[in-house]
Structure 1
Amino acid sequence: MSVLGLTGTEEDVYRYFLRNPRTPAHDIHGVFSFGQEGATLAISRLRDLRLLHGDDESTWATEPGVAVPRLMEKQLAAMHRTIRQLTKPWPILRSLQRDRQDPLPELSGTADGAGATLRRLEDLREVRAHIDELAFSAQQEVLAAEPYDTLPQEDIAHGRPVDVRCLRRGVRIRNLVRTSALEDPESLSHLRKLHANGAQIRVANELSQQMLVYDRHTALLPIDVHDTARGALRIEESTLVGGVVSLFERLWAATTDFATLTAPGAGRITRLSETQQRVLTCMCTVSKDEVGAQRAGMSLRSALVTAHKQR
């Protein structure tokens, strides 16, 4: 009965009085090995729980059909209190952060090093640790832009559980990806799963800037946009974060909804072949179709047919 909150001694005592109702309480002292003090404490707590009744001369146990639901209700109430406390960890988190001796180099901040607004994270393990921390602390919104033709499998494996936990807590996630990512089966599967869990996803033909923004308060940007393995900058300065958010919103407004592109009947998203790219480039950079076709190395009719297929 430990799952119901009773110790082994308390369960033994309760079962004894179920088997031996209306017997003197002091009779139990010689029955079990836990001695008089242990028996007295167990009897006292069982009386407090209303699982034993009577007095020292005549003691009996509450019927199991009443006792078990009563204990279940008590345990569930305690669990609900704990859950409510766990959903509001921010005072604890703020207190711990005040005590933390942060070894990260600070590029700006107050004179004593507190309240740094820009941190350089050059170890990818540190970057992921900060992502975990910020995702856990997020209360309203996460903005993400991922400029990859194929979403890295390591990022998917690490990021999906974090994102799903945020979504289940009611945190809004808006995610920008490249159109080319939809051509990769594993990337597309990952995005579908995020979308099914409530993430808002939009697709851009051109996307070069990687960014993460948490509650419009903290942003993570790559140190080198051409080599994200070099690490990230953690930014908490309000003006800089505001600029990142503004850029994200402009990109978001100019993109296409993921659900629209991937809906049944929306058509398969494909890239142009090298020949198609060459023909369209030639046709669009000259004043006459004949000249464009000549530059593309084909007849005018073939060039027009190739270009028409892309409409």
Structure 2
Amino acid sequence: MHGNDMDVFGVSPLEERVYRHFLRHPESAVEGALVALGVEQRALDRAVARLVELRLLRPGDRPECMCPTDPEMAVARLTELRLRDVYQEVQRLTQSRHVLAGLRAESSAASAEGGMAGGFGGESGVEELDGKEELRSRMEDLAFFAREEIVSVEPGVDLMSTRVGQARALEWRALRRGVRRRLVVPPEALRHAPVAGYLRELLARGGQVRVAAQMSDQVAVYDRRVALMPQDPKNIEHGALLVRGRALVSTLLGLFEKVWDQAEDVAVELREPGGERGPELSEPELRVLRMMCEVSKDETGARDLGVSVRTYRRHIADVMRRLGASTRAQAALLARERGWL
């Protein structure tokens, strides 16, 4: 039995049970889920409608049947939707300073009347950081004082390359103190010489690096209590939000963990140049590989190649075996590294 693993994405226990049912029984009738799960018709209809809205399910070839979305694509979409909600919540917090002004006015009035003013210390939950220098200074402080763990998702290779020198000095000191370091990067990072060199050294010093083809927006969490996220979701250099508070930081950390779990280890991808490349693929295998990377649905790829879905999936499994890949995302990464795509 599974717990409600997908609750971090706002998916209810019943919705998760229904999605898992259709993963086990793709292209099956909704009526079959009613019997298998033992739920009321109305509750099942609501769950199916929500999963269709989230694009985790879609109608099958027959009207009464449903097809599940591939889990990797489903988690990537749910992560994107959840991050969008978090960003909107943070933006609402940063735009609510008029509340603080009103409360301070009340406090000032109490002070003028002889009351106890200024007795409510503490930091705001969200702080805006404007400009590169302020951001760089705060990142240095957070890395310097980290004692347990630094985790981050870095989708921008160009931005990473400008910070490699600075990051080395900060992170090597943190690693020497026993701080755990986990980092998720996009596939392009493995082909960018300065960034790849930094990643190799990070691994050699005890850090952990994984690669994800589907990246969430940039975020970094320090010691599970402070998070940095960009005001522009794709570029932290345009200004950042420093987030404190258990609820928001826990949500961001939970999203990182989902991305981390779905990402691939880079032990093979970051091997030194000149290692074993394995056998070349035949032209039919290359066509299957390209189709796998270009289309999101197996049905579409099978139709374009003129084969059945079952045959198409068998070809993909054969290609993955030839590449030594455990997932389609890893197969795409290995193929791009070898210049086959």
Report the residue type matching 1:288 in the other structure: R
Partner residue of 2:263 out of 238, 255, 265? 255
Residues 8-42 of structure 1 show CA distances to partners (whole Å, capped at 9, x for unaligned) of xxxxxxxxxxxxxxxxxxxxxxxxxxxxxxxxxxx
Equivalences for residues 1-311 of structure 1 within 5 A: 114-150=122-158, 152-263=160-271, 267=277, 277=290, 281=294, 285=300, 288-289=303-304
Contact 1:151–1:187 (Cα < 8 Å) also in 2: no
Mapped to 2, the partners of 1:229 and 1:151 lie a distance apart of 8
Aligned length: 194
Displacement, 1:165?
0.8
Query: Identity, % of aligned pairs?
Result: 30
Mapped to 1, the partners of 2:95 and 2:294 lie a distance apart of 48
Q: Please tell me whether Structure 1 or Structure 2 has the larger radius of gyration of its CA atoms.
A: 1
Relative to structure 1, is the Cα distance of residues 278 and 130 closer, same or farther in structure 2, using a 3 angstrom cutoff?
same
- The two structures, once aligned, show a CA RMSD in angstroms of 3.8
Contact 1:106–1:118 (Cα < 8 Å) also in 2: no
Mapped to 1, the partners of 2:162 and 2:242 lie a distance apart of 21
Mapped to 1, the partners of 2:183 and 2:249 lie a distance apart of 17
Displacement, 1:148?
2.4
Displacement, 1:287?
5.5
SS at match of 2:153: strand
Mapped to 2, the partners of 1:189 and 1:200 lie a distance apart of 14
Displacement, 1:181?
1.0
Mapped to 2, the partners of 1:246 and 1:279 lie a distance apart of 29
Displacement, 1:267?
4.3
Mapped to 2, the partners of 1:266 and 1:208 lie a distance apart of 32
Mapped to 1, the partners of 2:276 and 2:150 lie a distance apart of 28
Mapped to 2, the partners of 1:162 and 1:105 lie a distance apart of 33
Residues 71-119 of structure 1 show CA distances to partners (whole Å, capped at 9, x for unaligned) of xxxxxxxxxxxxxxxxxxxxxxxxxxxxxxxxx9995879567411100
Mapped to 2, the partners of 1:277 and 1:290 lie a distance apart of 11
Displacement, 1:257?
1.5
How high is the TM-score relative to the length of structure 2?
0.48
Query: RCO (CA 8 Å, sep 6+): is it higher in 1 or 2?
Result: 2
Mapped to 2, the partners of 1:205 and 1:157 lie a distance apart of 25
Report the residue type matching 1:208 in the other structure: S
SS at match of 1:143: strand
SS at match of 2:171: helix
SS at match of 2:232: coil
Residues 38-59 of structure 1 show CA distances to partners (whole Å, capped at 9, x for unaligned) of xxxxxxxxxxxxxxxxxxxxxx
Contact 1:150–1:184 (Cα < 8 Å) also in 2: no
Relative to structure 1, is the Cα distance of residues 169 and 141 closer, same or farther in structure 2, using a 3 angstrom cutoff?
same
Contact 2:135–2:239 (Cα < 8 Å) also in 1: yes
Mapped to 2, the partners of 1:274 and 1:228 lie a distance apart of 38
Displacement, 1:263?
4.2
Report the residue type matching 1:211 in the other structure: V
Mapped to 1, the partners of 2:270 and 2:164 lie a distance apart of 19
Mapped to 2, the partners of 1:187 and 1:143 lie a distance apart of 17
Mapped to 2, the partners of 1:257 and 1:225 lie a distance apart of 25
Displacement, 1:229?
2.7
Mapped to 1, the partners of 2:261 and 2:159 lie a distance apart of 22
Mapped to 1, the partners of 2:152 and 2:174 lie a distance apart of 13
Mapped to 2, the partners of 1:263 and 1:122 lie a distance apart of 38
Displacement, 1:225?
1.1
Residues 234-280 of structure 1 show CA distances to partners (whole Å, capped at 9, x for unaligned) of 00111000000100111111111222433475749xxxx99974686
Relative to structure 1, is the Cα distance of residues 120 and 289 closer, same or farther in structure 2, using a 3 angstrom cutoff?
closer
How high is the TM-score relative to the length of structure 1?
0.53
Relative to structure 1, is the Cα distance of residues 263 and 153 closer, same or farther in structure 2, using a 3 angstrom cutoff?
closer
